[in-house]
Homo-oligomer: A and B are copies of this chain.
Amino acid sequence: MSVSRGVVFAGVFVVAGASAAFADPQTAAQLRDRALTDPTAYSVLESLTTQIGPRPVGTPAAHRAADWGVAKLKALGFKNVHVEAFAKPSWHRDAESAEVIAPFPQPLAVIGLGESVSTPPDGVEAQIVVLDNLNQMKSAAPDAFKGKIVVMNQPMTRSESGMGYGVAVAARSGESEAAKHGAIAYLTRSISTGTGRAPHTGATNYKDGAPKIPAGALGVPDADLLAHMAARGPVRIHLKLLSHVDPDTQGYTVSGDIVGSAKPDEIIVIGGHLDSWDPGTGAIDDGAGIAITTAAAHLIGALPHHPRRTIRVVMWGSEETEGSGAAYLAAHKDELSKFVLASESDFGSDRIYALTLPKGAFADPELAALPGVLAPIKVMADPRPATNAGSDVEEIQGAGVPVFSLAQDGMRYFDYHHSADDTLAIVDPEQLKQNVAAWAATLYMLANSDIDFRASAAAK
């Protein structure tokens, strides 16, 4: 994507009224333009994927990632840089394989789902039942899948907002329903919009009241392959999904501040998550979020005058299997009132197309110039109130912290997400910079304002 610089808009800012005294859209526009040529985000992302690589919680790499985060934030001028450790049992993948035994022997691409129980060490061999959607499973007879392996071949819809994920991801936790009907294992088509064979992992959630059976994901082509085979008659496969849980591990969340010049105790909490799945190098999920928010805050920190409020970059340590959002809430319960706003960047590295704010905030004179600052980089001011701002801020949001969100183009995100193909090779450096530009300009104006977003939302 090519990004226009839009300096032609600079002239409009001088007409801002007295009530927007602190807004300073001129500096926001300068930050935006500086971001479009700033190499920091790509450099941070290259460093994380190269020097750490995959970093699931509970691995040595996750520990090294925390050290990396501390060093990176310090080097980029952040203050109060520290690690917040929390207890987090961790799931670890061991040997995995799958293959068709009969009638058409061939190997299958498979990956275990996070939190899955293991098959026996030698695996299981059974006939498969291929279903097209979750509904077919729910309406099946009680013993419909007795002794069989359920293959859920429910496809996912591509969409800019990523809403297809919300619909499709239920299939990643279908094993309990399958088990209720007698299944001995469960394989879902990867929750993916792509055509690549690399299977997409992700955490599964066992439901109460059903036996825990092993659960994995097939490559998209492999799920279709089994459907094609099953259309011809009975198919037997062999499946091995081994894993273990380490109950005594810790997650590590890294934090650093660009300290506010006037109201340092009013804090805007942003960031990404530092943990990743294992098959790729965690470039778009969520090295990009780390890189974008770090680079944006760093650009603001490098200004001669910091904005009035503090900007805090948090690298949450256990998003993929949950835990870091709740740990963050627990650790910061007593200072929640200081958190004036929160958001997370956790949807890859492609262009931002919209900003949402807490209800009523766009109407505040202090932010009147913000849409004009964002328009040249093709970011809309979305008038709907922000509702969703990332998994790691859900808990503090639930405890009353207002959120904002910069919506990214998700058209290709789920081609790669949670698979081996999530690497630096799929990151477009120009779109990454546009992300930083949108974050830097937005953050600067939010941090410079005196808006009480809790009150703003409540007043309307």
Interface residues of A (CB under 8 A from B): 46, 49-54, 60-61, 100, 104-107, 109, 195-198, 219-221, 224-225, 228-229, 232, 279-281, 420-421, 423-426
- Residue numbers in B under 8 Å from A54 (CB-CB): 106-107
Q: Is the CB of A221 within 8 A of B106?
A: no
Q: Is the CB of A197 within 8 A of B104?
A: no
Residue from B106, B195, B279, B423 in contact with A281 in the complex, judged by beta carbons closer than 8 Å? B106
- Residue numbers in B under 8 Å from A53 (CB-CB): 100, 104-107, 225
Decide yes or no: A50 and B104 within 8 Å by CB, A225-B424, A424-B225 being known contacts: yes
Q: Is the CB of B425 within 8 A of A280?
A: no
Instruction: Tell me the nearest residue of chain B to A283, going by C-beta.
Output: B221
Q: Is the CB of B104 within 8 A of A198?
A: no
Q: CA separation between A89 and B292, bound complex, in Å?
A: 54
Which A-B residue pairs are the 6 nearest by beta carbons? A53-B106, A221-B423, A195-B425, A221-B425, A197-B420, A50-B228
Q: Is the CB of B198 within 8 A of A198?
A: yes
- Residue numbers in B under 8 Å from A104 (CB-CB): 50-53
Decide yes or no: A195 and B46 within 8 Å by CB, A54-B106, A221-B281 being known contacts: no
- Residue numbers in B under 8 Å from A109 (CB-CB): 420
- Residue numbers in B under 8 Å from A228 (CB-CB): 46, 50, 424
Q: CA separation between A49 and B221, bound complex, in Å?
A: 11
Q: CA separation between A50 and B281, bound complex, in Å?
A: 32
Residue from B49, B221, B424 in contact with A424 in the complex, judged by beta carbons closer than 8 Å? B221
A23 CB, min distance to chain B CBs, angstroms = 40
Instruction: Tell me the nearest residue of chain B to A49, going by C-beta.
Output: B225
Q: CA separation between A61 and B195, bound complex, in Å?
A: 24
Q: Is the CB of A197 within 8 A of B195?
A: no
Q: Is the CB of A197 within 8 A of B198?
A: yes
A154 CB, min distance to chain B CBs, angstroms = 15
8 other contacts beyond A50-B229, A109-B420, A195-B423, with CB at 8 A cut-off? Answer: A54-B106, A60-B105, A61-B106, A196-B198, A197-B421, A198-B421, A220-B425, A221-B424
Q: CA separation between A216 and B351, bound complex, in Å?
A: 36
Q: Is the CB of A50 within 8 A of B424?
A: no
Instruction: Tell me the nearest residue of chain B to A103, going by C-beta.
Output: B51
Q: CA separation between A300 and B396, bound complex, in Å?
A: 69
Q: CA separation between A49 and B229, bound complex, in Å?
A: 10
Q: Is the CB of A421 within 8 A of B49?
A: no
Q: CA separation between A60 and B102, bound complex, in Å?
A: 14
Instruction: Tell me the nearest residue of chain B to A196, going by C-beta.
Output: B421
A324 CB, min distance to chain B CBs, angstroms = 22
**Which of A60, A109, A229 has most B Cβ within 10 Å?**
A109
A299 CB, min distance to chain B CBs, angstroms = 24
